[in-house]
Amino acid sequence: MASFPAWYFDESKMAGIDFEDIAQVEAFDRRQASSTPEKEQALVRRLGISSGHTVIDLAAGTGTFAIQASLNGASVDAVDISQSMLAYARSKAQKVGATNINFHQAGFLTYKHNNNLADFVITKAALHILPDFWKIVALVRMAAMLKPGGIFYLRDVIFSFPPAEYETSINDWIERSAKPKDEGWTVQDYQMHVREEHSTFAWIIQGMLTRAGLEITEANYPTPTLAEFLCIKSVSSI
Ligand SMILES: C[S@@+](CC[C@H](N)C(=O)[O-])C[C@H]1O[C@@H](n2cnc3c(N)ncnc32)[C@H](O)[C@@H]1O
């Protein structure tokens, strides 16, 4: 943190689940049903990532997306704040022969990319870790890592229910999604997410993306608590 001001957010103090704990990392890899090799390969193809492309995966977790992008021919920078996550991801990549991945221990607010701007920056299931002011700082930083016309992809727990319906919407979400221990995220995991992490509304995220110079080309809300945004780095922000 030497080159950052004293008021800068300390992202090493992670909100929510402790992803430095190796047991949590292994449990996470088993539970993360939205991030199977098949689903991530489908996303890689949907985004058009292929040979010769450069990709940055911010908060790469156990590396499933980074591995699939690499297996499709891209050169990938996988960034995560957790050393345990990175060690796990590195070993997974070795096992499947995904060699074109550079792993970096850093965060949304501290990762310094080299001078080679990327074709794609993606971040999934992680931006909610930051409070809103720091989310937009992260988005500005990620936009700056992209080539002109480069693609930014965000998927996260983002709310699209009417604000006045927060209570029933959150309760319905937990009831619909929670699983018994060992089968997935539990009631307690969801409760902690809402209580301690910083998921926010889609209209706030949309405003942040636009102000970060990312033009939204596709917005999807598969459920009232999940959203994905596909963006292009605006020419006017270059
Ligand atoms: C829920 S996981 C998502 C992992 C992966 N992107 C996926 O889709 O499966 C959140 C990840 O964010 C990482 N993380 C937490 N705070 C971070 C930060 N400030 N910057 C970068 N990564 C962070 C955690 O270590 C963890 O690997």
pLDDT value of position 30 = 77
Question: Nearest C-alpha to atom 18 of ligand 1 is from which residue?
Answer: 107
pLDDT value of position 65 = 98
Ligand 1 centroid from CA 236, angstroms:
30
Ligand 1 centroid from CA 85, angstroms:
8
**Mutation probe of ligand 1 site: the residue of 82, 101, 141, 226 with most atoms within 8 A of C-beta:** 82
User: Is ligand 1 within 6 A of the CB of residue 24?
Assistant: no
Q: Could you tell me which residues are beta bridge partners of residue 102? A: 77
CATH 3.40.50.150 fits 22-159+199-237, yes or no: yes
| Residue 143 structure tokens | 């936009």
User: Is ligand 1 within 6 A of the CB of residue 127?
Assistant: no
Ligand 1 centroid from CA 150, angstroms:
22
pLDDT value of position 6 = 96
Q: Where are the domains of the chain?
A: 22-159+199-237
Per-residue pLDDT of the chain (238 residues; tens, 9 = 90+): 558 999 999 998 876 666 777 777 887 787 777 789 999 999 999 999 999 999 999 999 999 999 999 999 999 999 999 999 999 999 999 999 999 999 999 999 999 998 899 999 999 999 999 999 999 999 999 999 999 999 999 999 999 999 999 999 999 999 999 999 888 899 999 999 999 999 999 999 999 999 999 999 999 999 999 999 999 998 765 4
Strands (E), 24-145: 54-58, 75-80, 101-105, 118-124
Ligand 1 centroid from CA 141, angstroms:
16
pLDDT value of position 62 = 94
pLDDT value of position 182 = 81
pLDDT value of position 16 = 63
User: Is ligand 1 within 6 A of the CB of residue 119?
Assistant: no
DSSP 96: H
- Whole-angstrom Cα distance, residue 206 to residue 175? 27
**Atom of ligand 1 lying closest to residue 155 CA:** 8
User: Is ligand 1 within 6 A of the CB of residue 40?
Assistant: no
Q: How many CB atoms lie within 10 A of CB 212?
A: 22
Question: Nearest C-alpha to atom 20 of ligand 1 is from which residue?
Answer: 107
- Whole-angstrom Cα distance, residue 40 to residue 168? 31
Question: Nearest C-alpha to atom 27 of ligand 1 is from which residue?
Answer: 61
Phi, psi (degrees; rounded to nearest 5) at 17: -65, 145
pLDDT value of position 34 = 78
Angle subtended at Cα 198 by Cα 192 and Cα 199, rounded to the nearest 5 degrees: 95
